[in-house]
Homo-oligomer: A and B are copies of this chain.
Amino acid sequence: MNEALLTAMLVTDGKTLLIGAGVFAVLALVFAVFASRRILRWPTGTEEMGRIADAIRRGAMAFLRTEYTILLIFVILLSVALTIFVDGGSWAGFQQVLSSGGLSDLIFGTGGKGGTAAAFLAGALCSVLAGFIGMRTATNANVRTTEAAKTSIGDALRVAFSSGVVMGLSVVGLGLIGIVALTLWRGNAGGDPAIDFNPNLIFGFSLGASSIALFARVGGGIFTKAADVGADMVGKVEAGIPEDDPRNPAVIADNVGDNVGDVAGMGADLFESYVGSIIAAMALGYAATGLGAERTNTLIVLPIALAGVGILASIVGTFFVRAKDEKGLSAALFKGLFVASLLFAGLAAGLFMLLGAHEIQPAQATYTGEWGIYFAVIMGLVLGVLIGKATEHYTSERKRHAQEIAAQSETGAATNIIHGLAVGMQSTAVPLILIAATTFGAFWFAGLYGIGVAAVGMLSTLGISLAVDAYGPVADNAGGIAQMSGCPPEVRERTDALDALGNTTAAIGKGFAIGSAALTALALFYAYANKTGILDKGINILDATTFSGFLIGGMLPFMFAAMTMKAVGRAANRMIEEVRRQFKSITGLMEGQAEPDYARCVAIATRGSLKEMILPGLMAVIAPILIGVTLGVDAVGGMLGGALLCSVLMAIFMANAGGAWDNAKKWIETGQLGGKGSDAHKAAVIGDTVGDPFKDTSGPSLNILIKLMTIVSLIFAATFKGFPPPG
């Protein structure tokens, strides 16, 4: 492309491009509204069904309200800290601003400085909104999916998947709108170049998203497992009543758990990943040197533009998800994903031509031809698919590993557990090698920036991949409602088929979340190194101070996993006591003549899980600041490196071990090795229970932990020992 034209286009049209991406983001929200309306057009079935669905919805919303109230305190405290120590620079600096009357400039980030706290609030708000919309929709869709399943599996898929679409498109829409708005808000202050970039704003936005996500993931994860264990241990094991039996006091809490854990928790999680990947790539574009202002600007807006075309591709992809019968289910979902990925690759190529981005070669790249950055984007896209495949290989009940765990159940629970742990550990190899190869390749093609855009490429089609992922809990809930309301057995069979597929897609989604977390954290890590001036000298683990931080950083994910696992145990114990109490004190409960106090179980799980979420959440925020203030910027660098490595490893280990145990049990339940009720099945149930906090609480939270720690370090870097950077 003609150089003069390019320059002219960028200077004049940077803003236009941002607005264009913003339009796609708004389009996502419009489609989400349409999908939401489509759901509401379906009938809610019998009165009994409506009553159950209502109880679930009220429980879920009560959880969200309580959670957000607690988080409000945290958000306010952190906003104050950000205003004083980050926007103000220090207590003294803040005092000075106060006395000079510049507080509003500081808060609103006028003139390219400050504004972190405001952006943080915006990020937190968008995250809360995304979780709220997803949950509201899922709790509307569950009962309608049950009703639709009375007609056909295709209809049931349509409703459940629509709910996923609302979630997926809301997350990407809100995320991208937030980033575009912040970039435009205080951009253009200097007039030229087009985007007067203030990284504080997007970092603040990302911090808001990450901190809400961690609490939501941990809180939701503890809730869902506490309720699940409580319902199973007392209901199924002690009282001997079937799953989803309305006589079980914890049954509503269990269904609420699916929503608060798998819908709201995962929504906040991927909202955070999505935002994190875009802003990390923007920051690396901003840090790229020696390319000239226009090209740097292109690198800053490119991640936003890629996200925009990714949204378009995702919307188109959703139209390809249609199935008539059970056999077509899996194909339908993968077809949607495949179309979206292919379309994204094509649209992205067009975008590169339009922006002239295919001509840019970042300084550290080894590759000297054109299209290097594009190749890095595509590597990220492919990495997501491959990690998903690897996850499926290690966890699917149709593959060797889960079946081997099932076979080991025949000699008892101990061999089942040992083998499951071994499979989880072993399953780290392929993803780690893939991530290493992608990092290496993306860097080779496009330097540090390549690693940033690889993460963006991976998450570009999040709109549809999250939709595919988030329909699972709706199907799960639909099955529960079918059971509790006494629907005909074929309804339950259809929702079970939807749910089973949901387990596979959820495994793939988890692999996706882990891969993107690794790349995004790495990109943020580079942004940290750049800000603190240690990018050139590097993070040298042979340095004793750095090494000390490195050791502590590696230990934190183990500590975090331990804390969340124990928290699940404590919350579950409270649930167990309450369920036992109700069985004992409510007369006529077992005979079905009296109704249990569902709400009380929900309240106890809510209180228990939210209480337990605070400590691990605070640890993630406080640890980097503590190390930074005492040991300095290098030690924090080491800490982030150690934490990145061990978080990724532990997350994969825990998620895959949990998934494999779950599916080993399911494999036996299909009638293998003696089927349900056999000794092998009993052993497999123990393995599955151990896997529950692994795969639904600790494992997924670790993905957020590492990003949150990195973004906290990035934002608070100025308060660390050894800052400002030399020179």
A522-576 with Cβ < 8 A to chain B:
522, 525-526, 529, 535, 537-545, 547-552, 554-555, 558-559, 561-563, 565-566, 568-569, 572-573, 576
A413-449 with Cβ < 8 A to chain B:
413-415, 417-419, 421-426, 428-429, 432-433, 435-437, 439-440, 443-444
A596–B144 alpha-carbon span in the complex (Å): 66
Residue among B525, B646, B648 making CB contact with A645, cutoff 8 Å: B646
A554 contact set on B, CB distance < 8 A: 432, 645-646, 649
Would you call A566 and B641 a contact (CB within 8 A)? no
Q: Which of A339-347, A381-389, A686-694 contacts B (4 or more CB under 8 A)?
A: A686-694
Would you call B646 and A566 a contact (CB within 8 A)? no
Would you call B425 and A551 a contact (CB within 8 A)? no
CB nearest neighbor in B for A431: B555
Residue among B233, B421, B526, B541 making CB contact with A641, cutoff 8 Å: B541
A154 within 8 A of B: no
A439 contact set on B, CB distance < 8 A: 544, 547-548, 551
CB nearest neighbor in B for A555: B432
A411 within 8 A of B: yes
A565 contact set on B, CB distance < 8 A: 418-419, 421-422, 425
* A-side interface mostly: helix
Best-surrounded residue of A424, A562, A689 (most CB of chain B within 10 A): A562
How many copies of the shown chain assemble into the complex? 2
A529–B547 alpha-carbon span in the complex (Å): 14
A550–B646 alpha-carbon span in the complex (Å): 11
Would you call A412 and B686 a contact (CB within 8 A)? yes
A231-277 with Cβ < 8 A to chain B:
233
Instruction: Decide: A436 near B547, CB < 8 A? Known: A419-B569, A529-B542.
Output: yes
Residue among B428, B429, B641 making CB contact with A550, cutoff 8 Å: B641
A206 within 8 A of B: no
A550 contact set on B, CB distance < 8 A: 641, 645
Would you call B689 and A414 a contact (CB within 8 A)? yes
A668–B98 alpha-carbon span in the complex (Å): 63
Please tell me the size bucket of the interface on A: 35 or more
Would you call B538 and A542 a contact (CB within 8 A)? yes
Name the distance in Å between A129's Cβ and chain B's nearest Cβ: 34
A215 contact set on B, CB distance < 8 A: none
Name the distance in Å between A656's Cβ and chain B's nearest Cβ: 11
A127 within 8 A of B: no
A36-71 with Cβ < 8 A to chain B:
none
Name the distance in Å between A580's Cβ and chain B's nearest Cβ: 11
A642 within 8 A of B: yes
A529–B428 alpha-carbon span in the complex (Å): 27
A598 contact set on B, CB distance < 8 A: none
Task: Provide 24 A-B residue pairs closer than 8 Å at the C-beta atoms, listed in order of the A residue.
Answer: A411-B573, A415-B572, A417-B686, A417-B690, A418-B569, A419-B565, A419-B566, A421-B565, A422-B562, A422-B563, A422-B566, A423-B562, A425-B561, A426-B563, A432-B551, A432-B552, A432-B554, A435-B551, A444-B544, A537-B540, A538-B540, A538-B542, A555-B649, A646-B649
Hey, which bits of chain A sit against chain B, CB under 8 A? 233, 408, 411-415, 417-419, 421-426, 428-429, 432-433, 435-437, 439-440, 443-444, 451, 522, 525-526, 529, 535, 537-545, 547-552, 554-555, 558-559, 561-563, 565-566, 568-569, 572-573, 576, 641-642, 645-646, 648-649, 653, 686, 689-690, 693
Other than the known A422-B569, A440-B544, what 17 A-B pairs have Cβ atoms closer than 8 Å?
A413-B686, A414-B686, A417-B686, A418-B689, A419-B566, A419-B569, A421-B562, A422-B565, A424-B562, A432-B554, A436-B552, A439-B544, A440-B548, A444-B544, A529-B542, A537-B540, A538-B538
